[in-house]
Amino acid sequence: MKSAFISYKWYALLLCFLMLLLSLSWSRLIAPSVRSAESDIPLRLQTPFDNQMSEPLKPSAYMSMFPDAPTLPLEAAHIFDNSKVSPAESNSQILEPSASAGQTAVAQAETHLQPQQIPVLNYHSITIDPGNRAVITPAKFEEQMLYLSKNGYHTLTLQQFIDYMDGTISTLPKKPVLLTFDDGYADNYEHALPLLKKLNFHATLFVSPGTTEDGYFLNWDQIKEMHEAGWDIQPHGMTHPHLPKLSAKSQAYEISEAKRQIDEQLKINTTVFCYPFGEKNETTLKLLQEHGFRYAFTIEQGLTTRGQNRLLLKRLFVNGEESIEPWIVRLEHGAVKVKS
Ligand SMILES: [Zn+2]
């Protein structure tokens, strides 16, 4: 009688264990793919080595990361840390405003746009998604591109940008701008590629190769077509992870595998990285150098200069909810003036 009771208890325990196992495997493995089939939310991606699932990547993932309206004082946009400028840069014929040069430099900067201060515009998805700052409508995107075209802006190739940052060339075309697109949303193919082709504009695309078969993002055929049309393609991590949350081994995989796949697919040598979610730590910077990366873009707001750390370059987030006026001010000055 006693032994029958014990075995009943064991059966109950085994049943509980099996049910726990089933619910775990459902929530971690099966549920995300079902959700993906039911909606347009892309599959969750998993970095090997770390047992950590990434968040589903959608432009809304950035919602909390960017301010409503960048609130740097206008003056701050002109005062850059000049202490790290190398002698090669100080030989440059064009003046660069510096904190040490004081008010004179600031005054000069306000009357004459300094070519060293390159606006690097940061776009994501181009579609209609009201309330989402990281998404710009095709109409607004076209309005901005036409503004650049009509007002004499020159969209840089990534090589031009690198040559200038390296000091290989000392001047850039008048009114330079670097267009960057993060994540490789499939809508970039539909709404940016034809327009930029028509305007003869250059652009740089940061993609995560782990997303290329998802359907929500650009596939390799589209990426190759964009590359052939003159777009520069560079890595954005393999699975768009939160890099600082990963072990060094996983970070190394995210960085090196993304580079390896893009290099192999496009027969190029990528050297410019873009941090997913703008996140990095000391390990990330060390790994980038070890894997031959020479420049990396953050989501820190401001114009880009040679004086900035090469692996911590600033950009200008394009807030899709804004009208064109503040976008123009930021393009010209790196920040919108605070009303005081
Ligand atoms: Zn991203």
CB atoms under 10 Å from CB of 292, counted, come to: 11
CA distances to 26, 137, 138, 155, 221 from 143, rounded to whole Å, are: 46, 10, 9, 15, 28
Per-residue pLDDT of the chain (340 residues; tens, 9 = 90+): 455 555 667 776 666 566 655 554 443 333 333 223 223 334 456 666 655 545 545 555 554 555 443 433 333 333 222 323 333 333 332 223 333 333 444 334 333 445 579 999 999 999 999 999 999 999 999 999 999 999 999 999 999 999 999 999 999 999 999 999 999 999 999 999 999 999 999 999 999 999 998 889 999 999 999 999 999 999 999 999 999 999 999 999 999 999 999 999 999 999 999 999 999 999 999 999 999 999 999 999 999 999 999 999 999 999 999 999 999 999 999 998 655 5
Secondary element (H or E) of residue 104: helix 102-111
Report in angstroms the alpha-carbon separations of 252 from 49, 97, 225, 237, 305. Answer: 11, 37, 28, 10, 28
- Element containing residue 36 per DSSP (H, E): helix 31-38
C-alpha 65 to ligand 1 mean position (Å)? 11
Q: What is the CA(80)–ligand 1 centre distance, in A? A: 26
Helices (H), 112-219: 138-150, 158-166, 186-191, 193-199
Question: Domain 117-324 is classified in which CATH homologous superfamily?
Answer: Glycoside hydrolase/deacetylase (3.20.20.370)
Output the CA 123–ligand 1 centroid distance in Å.
10
Residue 67 alpha carbon to ligand 1 centre in Å: 16
Ligand 1 centroid to 138 CA: how many Å? Answer: 19
Distance 62 CA to ligand 1 centre (A): 8
CA of 241 to the centre of ligand 1 (A): 9
Domain borders along the chain are 117-324
Q: How far is the CA of 117 from the centre of ligand 1 (A)?
A: 24
**Model's pTM, two decimal places?**
0.73
Closest CA to 238 of 207, 216, 280: 207
Distance 277 CA to ligand 1 centre (A): 5
How would you class 30 by CB atoms within 10 Å of its CB: exposed for 0-12, middle for 13-18, buried for 19 or more?
exposed
Residues in Cβ contact with 209 at an 8 Å cutoff, skipping those fewer than 6 apart? 235, 238, 257, 258, 261, 262, 265
